[in-house]
Chains A and B, each alone.
Chain A
Amino acid sequence: MAGLTEAQVQDRIREEAKKALASGEVSAVVGWTSTRFEDKTKPYFAETEAECDLLVWNKYCINGTGKFALDDRYPEKKIAIIARGCDSRALNRMLRDKQLKRENLYIIGVVCDGKENAVCEGCQHKNPLTYDVLIGEPVEEQMNAERFKEIEAFEKLTPDQRYEYWAKQYDKCIHCYACRNACPACNCVECYADQYRTGWQGKAADREQNQVYGLTRAFHVGDRCIECGECERVCPMNLPIMRQTKKMLKDINDLFGDYECGLPDDAMPVLGTYKLEDPDEFM
């Protein structure tokens, strides 16, 4: 952290949180608090000044905070979100998807130097992209040259190898929908997967339903994925969920040009628009 130590950032977070609550415009500040385990923190809603002192900042602050802004879609007061780069992109995602109103958010941006979380290694946005107040000095962003390395390696396998791999993975899936609930791009009021009566898919957590869910999910979020990696982090069965969504992103990059989501001036998701000069493989 350029300039500030972890403890200083934590102090600044608490200070900004208190300031936000004191303004009277904010109902809660969403950040992290400690748990009984030293290497785990949990998302926390500080609602009083005293509770602000429970907010922590350390390398174990890995949970995304952005999605919690959606807990109350019709808030009476603002909600303050302590946002790292990824969290700010999550908020931009939901703003672009018209699920949040910017005036209902107070974003306390924190420059993040990566957490104890695998996805942080490839992070291209350590600096929050959208914020009302920023804690820490912005650092230089690193382009991740290996953004799609894992996908490229996987693409080299034979179709049967790939199928077998995924089938085994989907055998493990327990249908808990943690990946969906943690995902800032999964912001529907009612997920298609919950509409059993429409018959999109069955409720059974067997391989076939899980495959349908996995692919549909990839397709639904693929053109809006902000690459925060929450889906993969929250999966209790450790499915490599990003390996599906990143494939979508890779193809989008290949077919339609450079593409990254969750930026402040986010373009229309590629599946929501078209260009006359798009490549055409169906002649």
Chain B
Amino acid sequence: MSIKKDDNWEPKILAFCCNWCTYTGADLAGLNRMKYPENVRTIRVPCSSRVNPQFILRAFQKGADGVLVCGCHPGDCHYATGNYFTRRRFMLMQRLLEYNGIDPKRFQAKWISGSEAAKFRDTVTEVSAQIKALGPNTKFVAPHYDNALQAKEGGAE
């Protein structure tokens, strides 16, 4: 795996955030004018249990360098039990991805409550730094059609 190191390179990091805890926490980070890297983008979902593991695969396929799934702490789920399912799903998913060669830092799940603005900031800052250190993700990525064409023309198979 050759990793192109480029100082200007910014990773793409997707963060699925549950509406009731982490998204609120992220908003609170804004209210408190906390600073964190621009390369993290949140997708609002009602509950972390809404996040289908297939979304994670899709993100990598489309070129995400890292994916975060964040929800309420166990016991605090707005919907009572959603994050317990999240916990099982993504513990297994993370292992399966690692087994297929994806660095576990590229896919992480975290519990961040609505009041933990600082934890949100610290988490995304840390994840961003980790992924920057890892470099661009080349695994599972479907090449953009232009690249695909070049690759094909460069030498069949």
Contacts and interface: CB of A to CB of B under 8 A. Distances in A.
Would A and B touch once assembled, by the CB under 8 A criterion?
yes
B36 interface: no
Contacts of A274: 81, 84-85, 87-88
Contact of A216 (B54, B94, B142): B54
Interface string A58-91: 0000000000000000000000000000000000
A223 B53 CA distance: 14
Interface string A201-239: 000001011011001101100110000000000000000
Contact of B101 (A164, A200, A219, A251): A164
A162 B101 contact: yes
B43 interface: no
A251 B104 CA distance: 15
Contacts of A278: 84, 87-88
Indicate the size class of the contact surface on chain A: 35 or more
Contacts of A279: 91
Interface centre among B74, B75, B92, B108 (most CB of A within 10 A): B92
A200 B52 CA distance: 11
A159 interface: yes
Given A251-B92, A251-B95, A274-B87, A219 B74 contact: no
Given A166-B100, A247-B99, A222 B54 contact: no
Contacts of B141: 208
A1 interface: no
Interface in B69-87: 74-75, 81, 84-85, 87
B111 interface: yes
Contacts of A271: 85, 88-89, 92
A187 B146 CA distance: 38
Nearest to B142: A208
B64 to A, nearest CB: 13
A244 B74 CA distance: 29
A255 interface: yes
B21 to A, nearest CB: 12
B91 A255 contact: yes
A276 B99 contact: no
Interface in B1-29: 1
Nearest to B99: A247
A280 interface: yes
Interface centre among B88, B89, B111 (most CB of A within 10 A): B88
Contact of B92 (A161, A212, A252): A252
A200 B54 contact: yes
Contacts of A150: none
B61 A208 contact: yes
Contacts of A159: 98, 101-103
A247 B95 contact: yes
B100 A163 contact: yes
Nearest to B112: A282
A278 B92 CA distance: 12
B92 A219 contact: yes
Given A163-B1, A271-B85, A282 B92 contact: no
Interface in B100-150: 100-103, 108-111, 139-143
Nearest to B48: A282
B92 A154 contact: no
Contacts of A276: 74-75, 84
Contacts of B108: 282
Contacts of B96: 215, 218-219, 222, 244, 247-248, 251
Contact of B87 (A208, A212, A248, A282): A282
B74 A280 contact: yes
Nearest to B92: A251
A167 B138 CA distance: 12
B93 A160 contact: no
A219 B88 contact: no
12 contacts: A159-B98, A159-B103, A163-B101, A164-B101, A208-B61, A208-B140, A208-B143, A215-B97, A218-B96, A244-B96, A251-B92, A278-B88
- The 7 lowest CB-CB distance pairs between A and B, nearest first, are A163-B101, A274-B84, A208-B142, A162-B101, A282-B109, A159-B101, A251-B95
